[in-house]
């Protein structure tokens, strides 16, 4: 079931806002880590924008697929289509900027932090998200967002890749049968 | 027809043989293994997926590599692992297999990795266990060794990603080899267009062509222009009676030497499931040479076994999955 899509935020505009807010945080020892799959798209956009303004050095970055760390594995099993996590740099003592597309319950962030620590002990982790849609279930929230919303638990906001390569959002209404599944997932 | 390896919704319930598994499931296992390869290269070589689960290795037949890699795989998934060796267990006191299994289930085991000299042993146990218990066949008689078949195709895929364009030769004791059978099913299911078997008539099962392979008795003809050479171990312990003149004679005719390897494509890779009989089926120079991927096979074997366990342990009888 789909709702009116015309009111949805402009993802590309939000990425510009996020890039501006992110820039002051970057130091020499900073590395970016995108969470599959939306967080990785956002990270790639941010890297491209930051490269234009900061020609001095390339920013270390990597990706996480938190499938092996999710708290709902016992209920849902392993989804097909998971991607290898790729952290090619040394996490030890890095200031990590963890990037998600839509922040919801905080469960993905918890899984991502657990995985990150299996690579090493970072100096700090900062969570940034394109949108905080409201509804956290853990004492975790993003330090930086481009937009904050208060969506109903039955609404599912997702970042998608459009046919022209641009990023956009879709908002779907969950039916009771798939509500549990998706709310645990976001 | 009911497939004991799958739930009614098509998800994997047990891994008993490659035969009967759809391409989709094989690819799911291979793709998941891809994600597990990197885990071993991290500071902490563990993921928490099977935390709180108990995996029982039930080995009614000797094995070092397979048991060790299953054990490492389970531990890297954070499972608790118990390895039972038949010689030291109640089996030697006369307990039946099913009683052994029932007792371990009463101790809340969640998954069994079974190796047995009898073909069909893992199927037999799988038929008996309750729905939440998962069985992995780690080799049963001459029948099947599915994780070996999977790790072999995984290794091939790593070096030769386009499976649809490959010529693969399996060389040696096909008759006694559960590995060969699993490899053949895996390769043909995944769309490898040409699978050859190279062996003397005495070491080929009857009607082997029905598995979709091309039969060669001459090593030189069989190896010509292949991309992948999968050597098999000469299974001395399975051989009753004299099927072969001697090990030296065998090496001369079917052993993989550098000068026979030249007949294959220049970038051909050489696999062997281990343990190797150097100087019997494979020359030391080839086993340790540039084209050998025998040790990567062992490494990838852990990732494959992690993938199988992770998929099985997360599987649910259909309807329970939200």
pLDDT at B321: 42
The count of CB pairs under 8 A between chains A and B is 61
What is the distance between the alpha carbons of residues B320 and A181, in angstroms, rounded to a whole number? Answer: 12
What is the spatial distance between Cα A97 and Cα A116, in angstroms, rounded to a whole number? 11
The better pLDDT of the pair A68, A58 is held by A68
Q: How far apart are CA B157 and CA B283, in angstroms?
A: 25
Q: Check residue A147 and give its pLDDT.
A: 97
> Per the structure block, which two tokens stand in for A88?
């090619």
Which DSSP string corresponds to A56-86? S-PPEEEEE-GGGG-TTHHHH-PPTT----B
- Specify whether the CB–CB gap between B208 and B181 falls below 8 A: no
For B196, residues 6+ apart whose C-beta sits below 8 A from its C-beta are: B167, B168, B169, B170, B213, B214, B215, B216, B222, B226
Average pLDDT score over residue span A101-113: 97
In terms of Cα–Cα distance, which of A61, A78, A65 is closest to A36? A65
Bridge partner residues of A156 (DSSP): A172
Residue B322: per-residue pLDDT: 39
Percentage of chain B beyond pLDDT 70 is 93
- Strand-pair category, B167-171 with B194-198: parallel
Among A135, A53, A130, A62, smallest CA distance to A96 is for A62
What local confidence, expressed as pLDDT, does residue A184 receive?
41
3-state secondary structure B189-228: HCCCCEEEEECCHHHCCCCHHHHCCEEECCHHHHHCCCCE
Rounded average pLDDT over A43-67: 88
Q: Answer whether A31's CB lies under 8 Å from A61's CB.
A: yes
Chain A contact present for B40, CB below 8 A: no
- Cis peptide before B275, with omega less than 30 degrees from 0? yes
Tell whether A85 lies on the interface with B, counting CB pairs under 8 A.
yes
Q: How far apart are CA B69 and CA B115, in angstroms?
A: 13
As given in the structure block, the two tokens for residue B61 are: 């037949």
Instruction: Tell me which residues of chain B, numbers 251 to 290, contact chain A at a CB-CB cutoff of 8 Å.
Output: none
**Would you state the pLDDT for residue A74?**
86
Mean confidence (pLDDT) of chain B: 92
Using CB atoms, which residue from A77, A82, A120 is nearest to B321? Answer: A77
Which residues in chain A touch residue B34, judged by CB atoms under 8 angstroms apart? 84
The pair of three-digit structure tokens given for residue A15, joined into one six-digit string: 């990425």
ipTM of the complex in this document:
0.84
pLDDT for B247 beyond 90:
no
Query: At B50, is the pLDDT very low, low, confident or very high (cuts 50, 70, 90)?
Result: very high
Gap from B50 CA to chain A (nearest CA, Å)? 9
Closest CA to B39 of B96, B77, B68, B82: B77
Q: How far apart are CA A41 and CA A160, in angstroms?
A: 9
pLDDT at site A52: 82
Percent of chain A with pLDDT over 70: 89
Q: Does the pLDDT value for residue B194 go beyond 70? A: yes
Q: Domain A11-149: give its CATH architecture.
A: 3-Layer(aba) Sandwich (3.40)
d(CA B35, CA A82): 7
pLDDT band at A168 (very low <50, low <70, confident <90, very high): very high
pLDDT at B237: 64
Tokens of A93: 């003592």
- Name the residue facing A73 among B28, B44, B49 (closest C-beta): B49
Structure token pair of residue B275: 């343990």
The residue whose two tokens read 């096979």 is: B297
Contact B311 A84 (CB under 8 A): no
Residue-wise pLDDT for B264-318, tens only, equals: 999 999 999 999 999 999 999 999 999 999 999 999 999 999 999 999 999 776 5
User: Which residue segments constitute the domains of chain B, with CATH numbers given?
Assistant: 23-144+300-314 (3.40.50.1370), 146-294 (3.40.50.1370)
Between B295 and B234, residue with greater pLDDT: B295
| pLDDT confidence of residue B320 | 46
A167 three-state secondary structure: strand
Percent of chain A with pLDDT over 90: 77
DSSP E strands in chain B: the ranges are 54-59, 80-85, 111-116, 134-140, 167-171, 194-198, 214-216, 228-231, 269-271
Are A78 and B49 inside 8 Å of each other by CB? yes
A23 in contact with chain B, both atoms CB, cutoff 8 A: no
Cβ contact A120:B43 at 8 Å: yes
Find out whether B203 and B236 touch, Cβ atoms under 8 Å.
no
Cα(B305)–Cα(B137) distance, rounded to whole angstroms? 11
Helix (H, G, I), strand (E, B) or coil at B12: strand
Closest listed residue to residue B302, CA positions, set B192, B184, B154, B196: B154
CA quadruple B240, B245, B248, B250: dihedral sign = negative
Lowest-pLDDT range, A163-167, B176-180, B313-317?
B313-317
Q: What is the pLDDT of residue B95?
A: 79
Q: Is the pLDDT of residue B146 over 60?
A: yes
Q: Which residue of A has its CA nearest to B43?
A: A119
Please say if the pLDDT value at position B25 is more than 90: yes
**Nearest CA of chain A to the CA of B191: how many Å?**
20
Question: What confidence score (pLDDT) does residue A103 get?
Answer: 98
Q: Which of A34-38, A153-157, B33-37, B245-249 has the lowest mean pLDDT?
A: B245-249
The distance of B35 to chain A (nearest Cα, Å) reads 4
- Over residues A8-14, mean pLDDT: 94
Query: Does A85 sit within 8 Å of B35, measured CB to CB?
Result: yes
User: Please, where are the H alpha helices in A23-147?
Assistant: 38-53, 73-76, 107-117
Question: Strand ranges (DSSP E) for B7-92?
Answer: 54-59, 80-85
Q: What is the DSSP letter of B36?
A: H
Buried b / exposed e across A104-134, counting CB within 10 Å, b at 16+? bbbbbbbbbbbbbebbbebeebbbbbbbbbe
**Residue B53's pLDDT is what?**
96
- H helices of B38-145, in order, are 65-76, 97-106, 121-128
Return the DSSP state at A7: T
């Amino acid at each position: 079931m789909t709702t009116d899509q015309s009111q949805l935020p402009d993802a590309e505009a939000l990425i510009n806002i996020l890039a501006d807010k992110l820039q002051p945080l970057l130091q020499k020892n900073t590395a970016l880590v995108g969470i599959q799959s939306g967080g990785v798209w956002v990270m790639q956009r941010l890297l491209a924008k930051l490269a234009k303004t900061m020609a001095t050095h390339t920013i270390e970055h990597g990706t996480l697929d938190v499938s092996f760390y999710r708290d709902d594995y016992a209920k849902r099993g392993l989804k097909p289509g998971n991607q290898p996590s790729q952290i090619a740099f040394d996490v030890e003592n890095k200031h990590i900027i963890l990037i998600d597309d839509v922040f919801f319950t905080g469960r993905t962030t918890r899984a991502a932090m657990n995985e990150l620590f299996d690579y090493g002990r970072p100096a700090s982790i900062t969570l940034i998200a394109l949108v905080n849609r409201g509804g956290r279930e853990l004492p975790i929230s993003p330090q930086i967002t481009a937009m904050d919303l208060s969506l109903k638990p039955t609404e599912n906001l997702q970042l998608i890749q459009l046919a022209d390569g641009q990023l956009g959002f879709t908002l779907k209404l969950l039916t009771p049968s798939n509500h549990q599944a998706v709310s645990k997932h976001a | 027809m009911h497939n004991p390896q799958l739930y009614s919704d098509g998800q994997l319930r047990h891994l008993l043989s490659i035969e009967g598994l759809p391409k989709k499931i094989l690819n799911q296992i291979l793709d998941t293994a891809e994600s597990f390869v990197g885990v071993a290269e991290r500071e902490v070589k563990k993921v928490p997926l099977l935390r709180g689960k108990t995996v029982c290795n039930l080995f009614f037949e000797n094995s070092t590599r397979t048991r060790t890699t299953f054990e490492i795989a389970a531990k890297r998934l954070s499972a608790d692992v118990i390895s039972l060796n038949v010689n030291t267990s109640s089996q030697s006191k006369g307990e039946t297999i099913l009683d052994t299994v029932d007792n371990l289930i009463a101790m809340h085991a969640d998954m069994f990795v079974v190796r047995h000299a009898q073909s069909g042993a893992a199927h037999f146990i799988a038929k008996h266990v309750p729905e939440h218990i998962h069985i992995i066949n780690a080799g049963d008689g001459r029948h099947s060794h599915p994780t070996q078949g999977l790790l072999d195709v995984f290794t091939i895929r790593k070096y030769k990603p386009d499976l649809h364009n490959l010529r693969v030769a399996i060389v040696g004791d096909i008759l006694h080899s559960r590995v060969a059978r699993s490899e053949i099913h895996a390769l043909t299911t995944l769309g490898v267009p040409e699978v050859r078997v190279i062996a003397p008539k005495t070491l080929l099962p009857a009607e082997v062509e029905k598995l979709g392979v091309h039969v060669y008795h001459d090593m030189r003809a069989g190896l010509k222009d292949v991309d992948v050479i999968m050597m098999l171990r000469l299974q001395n312990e399975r051989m009753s009676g004299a099927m072969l003149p001697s090990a030296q004679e065998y090496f001369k005719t079917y052993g993989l030497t550098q000068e026979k390897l030249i007949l294959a494509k220049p970038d051909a890779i050489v696999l062997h499931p281990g343990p190797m009989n150097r100087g019997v089926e494979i020359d030391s120079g080839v086993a340790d040479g540039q084209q050998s991927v025998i040790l990567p096979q062992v490494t990838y074997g852990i990732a494959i076994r992690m993938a199988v366990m992770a998929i099985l342990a997360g599987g649910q009888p259909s309807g329970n999955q939200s």
